[in-house]
Every structure is written in structure tokens, then in C-alpha cells.
Amino acid sequence: MCTNLQPQSWLAWPGCCHTFRTMMSHSTDPCLVQCTTPQLTKEDYAWPTLSPKLVGFAKEVSQGRGFQLFKGFPVQHYKGDRLGLVLAYWGVALHIGR
């Protein structure tokens, strides 16, 4: 039976939480803020058949069970097009998020 129930004893090695963490801030690199400002909106992703489903997913997440499994995303279509894949995921997130 485990007798040591202190959270600090659950770490893999002493100080492990600090060895791989890097804190970023606006003062670290102002470009981070400029580069991550989204310029795309939900209107940029006109998906007549998918958009209503994503609205339903968003409702399930916010008012229902709190999560929704989204399967069948056509990642094979974006093979070799990493930016295209990221932008497609971004579009999904725009429809599900606020």
C-alpha cells in the first residue's frame, strides 16, 4: 500500500517540472503576439454541409457532455501540405469555438 500521498512525490525526478518548461511572454518576443493574431474568421470557411454539424458539436460541448469526438477528418488529403492541414483544423476550431 502506498503511504506517500504527497503530490511532490509523484514527480519522475526532483525538479522535473522546471527542466522542460519555458515561459513565454510579450516581452520575450513581440513577434509572437503579432504572428498569432488570427486574421481568418468563420466566414472564410463556407462549409454548407459541415458548418451545421459543427454548430451541433459546439452545443454538445458547451451545453451537453462537455466533449465531442470528431472522427474522419481527411488528413490524407493534406499529405505534404502541413499548412493546409493546420488551416483546415483552424477552420473547424473557428466553427466550434466562440
Contacts of 35 (CB under 8 A, 6+ apart): none
pLDDT single digits (tens) 62-76: 888 888 887 888 889
Tell whether the model's pLDDT for residue 3 goes beyond 70: no
**pTM summary value:** 0.56
Q: Which residues contact 47 (CB under 8 A, 6 or more apart)?
A: 54, 91, 95
Domain boundaries, the chain: 9-96
Name the pLDDT band for 46 (thresholds 50, 70, 90): confident
Contact by Cβ (8 Å): 54, 98: no
